[in-house]
């Protein structure tokens, strides 16, 4: 880190191609002979398929084929695999056929596919497929679906309970028995729709002569996609190439291996042409995964002085109709283990029921499990403060885990890496001028105006993660990363990585790392990712892992390059390798800094190999794999200030202060960008967003006309600051920052609104906090 | 997002447009395309033919009329918002046009398209009712339709099949007027829009007009509220009492997953109070 490039806010190299329209997304690729796929989808949330008549559709202009689930099965295509089965939870994994065969289980469930010459022909033929449905009873609510008399989705899953997972630490029963005070809440952490700017797409080319598949896909993890595709298509992994070209955001929704990926491959095989499918936004809302959707009964036990002694929760997590790729891990491992938050809570117990319902499958959405945990603990802490008439800051201070640099074990068993929670809180309070805000609040209340101040102090688990832990918790893959650093004779560098960024900016930050470490210009480094034929194996980009884990692999490769450069330099300068030092891009003889070779000198000499040291191979290239010893735990403190119009129920977000700590910062502008987007999505959950189903399983918020994705004008200017507490988990001391905003901002804003409404006697309101809900809550409280 | 097949016509004159509308079965008028095209892409609408009137010069522009302005049906929201003539003759119309959707919508969407579509969440219908605007329709001969007769039901106007809306005449406003809206956070359409106009007379409210949109299938004049304030001094208490009568005029309010009918009526009441306070401020 000799150079100033590390830590500087250089502009993202990704942006010129994005803002000029030169970036190529999956839908931009056109292959000779390419045809189009459209999907016939169920309008019913639950129905038996009596008959599918495809004759009329098959005779439509331009139609090359109409295929059903049965045909796909007969062609040897298997069910979509679930890649995460959490041990000890009695998880049922009913089959997930890519195209429904006899039963549809949610609105949007595929029942047939059309292959046609152009998109219009493909779409027209959808309406011509005649499906005879026998509608069945529908269940959509995760709690209700477990009750007697509700329809059962899968034959072998009684009461629709897919799993019952438990986490326990300490003795929660005794803690609650001996507590002075217990606060409770019933939380609905509502279902959200991820809304990546680019919808999903798949372009499949089956080459029959070689038996090879190439799939261009909107995936966050092409190597996982290839692995899973090999399982359900029957084509072996070495005959599959998955390419993730430009991917326009994912937020977790592009982690799963989706039915349409397999359908496109199947279709290409059937019609012997490249087949492209691109979903419409309406399709996206119904057939791309949703996030969150928990019903939670939660309680917190404490002593009179505010010392927290226990936390207990019972959660019904809606999984939707089928198990998406990582769905079972989200409401368990990534959720329940984080219930201690940033507090010393000696006794914790949680029961989680994963429940099937007649809704779109639920999987990872930005934060994935951790927002659902952080909201519980941050909400309960505020309720406890109110119950004890303590300032929420004082109550937090009393219970915060003190600063630590060598690991802190919480009751759920996790070992947090490093933290200084009070440091972040103090900084946020200083920026907010907290005492002044409280004074202002009192003055406004005297005038009949309702201002609220909300806090969230959080830590989160990310940088997924040690592969041994991944295996132990039932994740069907590893979680290490890899990198290849290749120097060309001219000293320019290509880096190939296993991660697959799609908006996170690692093409820039990884170039900054290479430039800083090896003394090359940042523009002399090119980062290649997202193509299984061009990049080494890696597990992809999600769980704020790309920099936290990927940079470890990159640093490993850089270390090997440095080591080889030392040998080459020593040989060229006729010195002993141990006498060669490195600083500021120069390999020099100790004590004689004017005797040196630059990395460019070494790259040339190693590549021409005219004069290599004995036993040293030519070339300057290194590859490395990195499996971290632990997860990383970024943290911070967020403060929201709101004003509530008690007449209309409208909420105005007046200020938003965020202090985040992601360890060492490679590029502060990119970190801020991640925080901005995260805050917007998290506040979106608190105030505007929510997927709503009616009792027949119809999605009422089926388009952007109804589902409120936040707009820039809804927000004040964010007031951001950072603290830097490096981790020892990876060589650079970096932690993930992709999800902190969504984890912290939902409770911060919710707590602010609750704070504003407390003088009116309002206790709890369901999210999103729409004007009508706020108005009704005020009216109820006044009665 | 692929529309069903349709034919396309691009007439250059009103006469030609009317002829096509009359002769081509299942044809529909395309102006700015901001309501019809999304419906077609979702296949909620599948017209057999589109009659694109966007090149008909005579439908564009803002002209002086006897008692105000005659606004061509093709005039965009952006043009209305920026027009000096509109700002002078009817400032509330310019302000309202400037609040519609976003910049792209305002650059493409037209006043004629908006009122003829008669979306309950649209802004113009409420304002047109408030201002006693008149709608000129042509189908060979022309007729003028009063605003209160123009909006018939959800997405339904009194325009007859084959009839083309050519212009809207908006009388000059004398008196202070305002349009307030509660925007839907997703669509930006008005969940409730309230327009108010008060002409003061000797320190008291003379003519009082309140129109409410979004809450019901078509915009409605809140006549009980108007009567309650007419002739009264614009005190906070009088305004509050008048606004409380708004609900009497809102029968069968619209309910959806964002706002119930009850809440829409409540919003209309609060917004009417604020609108009336605004237009009588200093009066």
Instruction: Say what the pLDDT of residue A2 is.
Output: 45
Percent with pLDDT over 70 in chain B: 99
Does the structure show a pLDDT above 90 at A586?
yes
Render pLDDT for A7-64 as a digit per residue (tens, 0 to 9).
999 999 999 999 999 999 999 999 999 999 999 999 999 999 999 999 999 999 999 9
Does the structure show a pLDDT above 70 at A173?
yes
Q: How far is A694 from chain B (nearest CA, A)?
A: 9
What is the side-by-side order of every strand in the sheet holding A275-278? Answer: A63-68, A110-116, A35-41, A275-278, A201-207, A212-217, A240-243
What is the side-by-side order of every strand in the sheet holding B68-72? Answer: B62-65, B68-72, B164-171, B134-138, B142-146
CA distance B35 to A457: 45
The answer to whether residue B267 neighbours chain A at the CB level (below 8 Å) is yes
Query: Which of A123, A709, A772 lies closest to B259 in CB terms?
Result: A772
User: How many CA atoms lie within 13 Å of A571's alpha carbon, on the beta-carbon side?
Assistant: 18
Instruction: Say what the pLDDT of residue A4 is.
Output: 77
Does the structure show a pLDDT above 50 at B14?
yes
Render pLDDT for A649-669 as a digit per residue (tens, 0 to 9).
999 999 999 999 999 999 999
Of all residues in chain B, the one with the smallest CA distance to A122 is: B2
| Cα angle value A770/A772/A777 (rounded, 5°) | 100
CA distance A354 to A334: 14
The answer to whether residue B183 neighbours chain A at the CB level (below 8 Å) is no
CA distance A1 to A770: 48
Instruction: Say what the pLDDT of residue A663 is.
Output: 98
CA distance A277 to A503: 22
Is the Cβ pair B184, A119 closer than 8 Å?
Answer: no
Render pLDDT for B134-169 as a digit per residue (tens, 0 to 9).
999 999 999 999 999 999 999 999 999 999 999 999
Render pLDDT for B72-95 as a digit per residue (tens, 0 to 9).
999 999 999 999 999 999 999 999
Average pLDDT of chain A is 97
Render pLDDT for A393-445 as a digit per residue (tens, 0 to 9).
999 999 999 999 999 999 999 999 999 999 999 999 999 999 999 999 999 99
Token readout for A183 is: 């606060």
Q: Contacts of residue B259 in chain A, CB cutoff 8 Å?
A: 770-772
Is the Cβ pair A282, B257 closer than 8 Å?
Answer: no
Is the Cβ pair B1, A648 closer than 8 Å?
Answer: no
Q: How many CB pairs under 8 A join A and B?
A: 56
Of all residues in chain A, the one with the smallest CA distance to B121 is: A705
Give the confidence band of B281 by pLDDT, cuts at 50, 70, 90: confident
Give the confidence band of A783 by pLDDT, cuts at 50, 70, 90: confident
For residue A464, the surrounding DSSP H or E stretch is none
Render pLDDT for A457-493 as a digit per residue (tens, 0 to 9).
999 999 999 999 999 999 999 999 999 999 999 999 9
Give the confidence band of A572 by pLDDT, cuts at 50, 70, 90: very high
Torsion on CA atoms A605, A610, A613, A619, rounded to nearest 10 = 50
CA distance A637 to A721: 10
A656 vs A639, A712, A745, B268, CA distance in Å?
Answer: 6, 14, 9, 31
Residue A443 burial by Cβ neighbours in a 10 Å radius (0-12, 13-18, 19+):
exposed
What part of B 35-54 touches A (C-beta under 8 Å)?
42-43
Over residues B13-20, mean pLDDT? 97
CB B17 within 8 A of CB B164: yes
Q: How far is A121 from chain B (nearest CA, A)?
A: 9
Is the Cβ pair A704, B266 closer than 8 Å?
Answer: no
Q: How far is B204 from chain A (nearest CA, A)?
A: 27
Strand partners, B174: none
SS3 A664: coil
Does the structure show a pLDDT above 80 at A352?
yes
Query: Which of A120, A648, A692 lies closest to B270 in CB terms?
Result: A648
Does the structure show a pLDDT above 90 at B47?
yes
Does the structure show a pLDDT above 80 at A145?
yes
Q: Contacts of residue A771 in chain B, CB cutoff 8 Å?
A: 182, 259, 263, 267
Percent with pLDDT over 90 in chain A: 99
Q: How far is B232 from chain A (nearest CA, A)?
A: 24
Token readout for A39 is: 């999907």
Q: How far is A91 from chain B (nearest CA, A)?
A: 34
Q: How far is B182 from chain A (nearest CA, A)?
A: 9
ipTM: 0.96
Does the structure show a pLDDT above 80 at A95?
yes
Render pLDDT for A758-772 as a digit per residue (tens, 0 to 9).
999 998 999 999 999
Q: How far is B4 from chain A (nearest CA, A)?
A: 7
Over residues A593-610, mean pLDDT? 97
CA distance A665 to A726: 9
Does the structure show a pLDDT above 90 at A780?
yes
Does the structure show a pLDDT above 90 at A718?
yes
Q: Contacts of residue A700 in chain B, CB cutoff 8 Å?
A: 256-257
Is the Cβ pair B43, A707 closer than 8 Å?
Answer: no
CA distance A505 to A546: 10
Chain A interface residues (partner B, CB cutoff 8 A): 119-120, 123-124, 127, 280-282, 647-648, 650, 687-688, 692, 700-701, 703-710, 714, 770-772, 775-776
Which has the minimum average pLDDT: A321-325, B34-38, B133-137? Answer: B34-38
């Amino acid at each position: 880190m000799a150079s100033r490039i590390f830590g500087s806010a250089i502009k993202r190299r990704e942006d010129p191609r994005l803002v000029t329209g030169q970036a190529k997304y999956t839908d931009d690729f056109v292959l000779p002979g390419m045809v189009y796929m459209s999907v016939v989808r169920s309008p019913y949330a639950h129905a038996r398929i009596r008959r599918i008549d495809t004759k009329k559709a098959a005779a439509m202009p331009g139609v090359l084929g109409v295929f059903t689930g049965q045909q796909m099965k007969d062609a040897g295509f298997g069910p979509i695999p679930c890649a995460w089965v959490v041990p000890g939870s009695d998880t049922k994994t009913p089959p997930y056929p890519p195209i429904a065969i006899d039963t549809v289980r949610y609105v949007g469930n595929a029942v047939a596919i059309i292959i046609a010459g152009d998109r219009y022909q493909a779409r027209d033929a959808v309406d011509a497929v005649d499906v005879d449905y026998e509608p069945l009873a529908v269940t959509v609510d995760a709690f209700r679906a477990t009750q007697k008399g509700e329809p059962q989705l899968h034959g072998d899953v009684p009461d629709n309970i897919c799993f019952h997972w438990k986490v326990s630490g300490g003795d929660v029963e005794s803690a609650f028995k001996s507590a002075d005070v217990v606060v409770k809440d019933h939380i609905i952490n509502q279902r959200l729709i991820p809304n990546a700017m680019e919808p999903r797409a798949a372009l499949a080319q089956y080459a029959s002569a070689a038996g090879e598949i190439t799939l261009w896909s909107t995936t966050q993890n092409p190597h996982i996609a290839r692995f899973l595709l090999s399982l359900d298509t029957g084509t072996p992994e070495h005959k599959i190439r998955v390419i993730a070209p430009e991917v326009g955001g994912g937020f977790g929704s592009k982690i799963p291996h989706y039915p349409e990926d397999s359908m496109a491959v199947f279709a290409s095989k059937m019609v012997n042409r490249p087949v492209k499918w691109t979903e419409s936004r309406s399709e996206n809302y119904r057939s791309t995964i949703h996030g969150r959707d928990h019903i939670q009964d939660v309680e917190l036990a404490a002593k009179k002085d505010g010392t927290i002694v226990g936390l207990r929760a019972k959660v019904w997590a809606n999984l939707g109709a089928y198990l998406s790729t990582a769905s079972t891990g989200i409401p368990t491992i990534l959720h329940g283990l984080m219930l201690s938050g940033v507090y010393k809570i000696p006794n914790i117990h949680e029961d989680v029921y994963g429940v099937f319902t007649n809704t779109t499958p639920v999987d990872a959405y930005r934060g994935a499990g951790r927002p659902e945990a952080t909201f519980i603990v941050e909400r309960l802490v505020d309720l406890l403060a109110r119950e004890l008439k303590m300032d929420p800051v004082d109550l937090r201070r009393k219970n915060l885990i003190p600063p630590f640099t060598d690991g802190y074990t919480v009751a759920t068993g996790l070992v947090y890496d490093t933290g200084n929670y009070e440091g972040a809180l103090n900084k946020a309070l200083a920026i907010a001028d907290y005492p002044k805000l409280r004074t202002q609040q009192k003055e406004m209340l005297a005038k009949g105006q309702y201002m609220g101040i909300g806090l969230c102090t959080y830590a989160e688990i990310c940088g997924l993660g040690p592969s041994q832990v991944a295996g132990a918790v039932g994740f069907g893959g590893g979680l290490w990363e890899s990198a290849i650093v290749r120097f060309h004779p001219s000293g320019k560098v290509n880096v190939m990585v296993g991660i697959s960024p799609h908006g996170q900016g690692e093409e820039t930050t990884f170039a900054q790392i290479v430039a800083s470490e090896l003394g090359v210009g940042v523009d002399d480094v090119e980062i290649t990712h997202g193509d299984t034929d061009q990049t080494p194996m890696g597990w992809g980009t999600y769980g704020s892992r790309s920099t936290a884990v990927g940079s470890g692999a990159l640093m490993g490769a850089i270390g090997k390059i440095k080591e080889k450069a030392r040998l080459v330099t020593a040989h060229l300068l006729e010195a002993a390798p141990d006498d060669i030092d490195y600083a500021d891009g120069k390999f020099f003889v100790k004590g004689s800094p004017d005797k040196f070779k630059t990395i460019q000198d070494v790259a040339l000499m190693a590549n021409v190999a005219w004069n290599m040291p004995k036993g040293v191979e030519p070339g300057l290239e290194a590859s490395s794999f990195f499996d971290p010893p632990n997860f990383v735990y970024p943290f911070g403190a967020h403060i929201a200030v709101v004003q509530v119009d008690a007449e209309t129920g409208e909420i105005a977000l007046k200020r938003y202060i965020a202090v985040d700590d992601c360890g060492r910062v490679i590029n502060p502008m990119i970190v801020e960008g991640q925080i901005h987007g995260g805050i917007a999505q998290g506040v979106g959950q608190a105030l505007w967003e929510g997927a709503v189903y009616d009792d027949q399983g119809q999605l009422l918020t089926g388009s952007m006309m109804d589902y409120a994705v936040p707009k820039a004008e809804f927000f004040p200017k964010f007031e951001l600051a950072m603290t830097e507490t490096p981790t020892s988990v990876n060589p650079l001391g970096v932690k993930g920052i992709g999800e902190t905003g969504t984890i912290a901002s939902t409770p911060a804003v919710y707590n602010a609104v609750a704070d504003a409404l407390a003088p009116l006697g309002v206790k709890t309101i369901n999210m999103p906090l729409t004007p009508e809900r706020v108005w009704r809550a005020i009216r109820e409280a006044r009665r | 997002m692929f529309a069903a097949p349709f034919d396309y016509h691009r007439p250059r004159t009103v006469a030609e447009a009317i002829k096509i509308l009359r002769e081509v079965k299942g044809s529909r008028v395309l102006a700015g395309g901001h309501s019809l095209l999304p419906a077609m892409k979702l296949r909620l609408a599948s017209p057999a033919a589109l009659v694109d009137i966007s090149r008909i010069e005579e439908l564009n522009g803002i002209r002086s009329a006897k008692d105000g302005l005659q606004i061509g049906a093709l005039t965009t929201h952006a043009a209305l918002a920026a027009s000096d003539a509109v700002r002078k003759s009817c400032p509330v119309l310019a302000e309202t046009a400037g609040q519609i959707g976003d910049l792209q919508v305002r650059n493409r969407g037209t006043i004629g398209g908006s009122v003829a579509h008669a979306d309950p969440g649209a802004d113009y219908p409420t304002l047109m009712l408030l201002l006693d605007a008149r709608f000129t329709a042509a189908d060979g001969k022309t007729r003028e339709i009063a605003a209160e007769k123009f909006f018939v039901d959800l997405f339904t106007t009194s325009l007859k099949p084959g009839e083309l809306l050519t212009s809207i005449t908006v009388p000059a406003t004398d008196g202070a007027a305002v349009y307030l809206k509660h925007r839907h956070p997703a669509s930006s359409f008005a969940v409730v829009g309230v327009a108010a106009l008060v002409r003061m007379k000797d320190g008291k409210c003379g003519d009082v007009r309140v129109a409410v949109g979004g809450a019901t299938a078509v915009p409605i004049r809140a006549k009980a509220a108007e009567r309650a304030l007419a002739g009264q001094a614009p005190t906070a208490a009088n305004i509050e009492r008048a606004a409380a009568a708004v609900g009497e005029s809102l029968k069968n309010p619209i309910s959806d997953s964002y706002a119930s009918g009850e809440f829409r009526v409540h919003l209309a009441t609060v917004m009417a109070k604020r609108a009336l306070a605004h237009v009588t401020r200093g009066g």
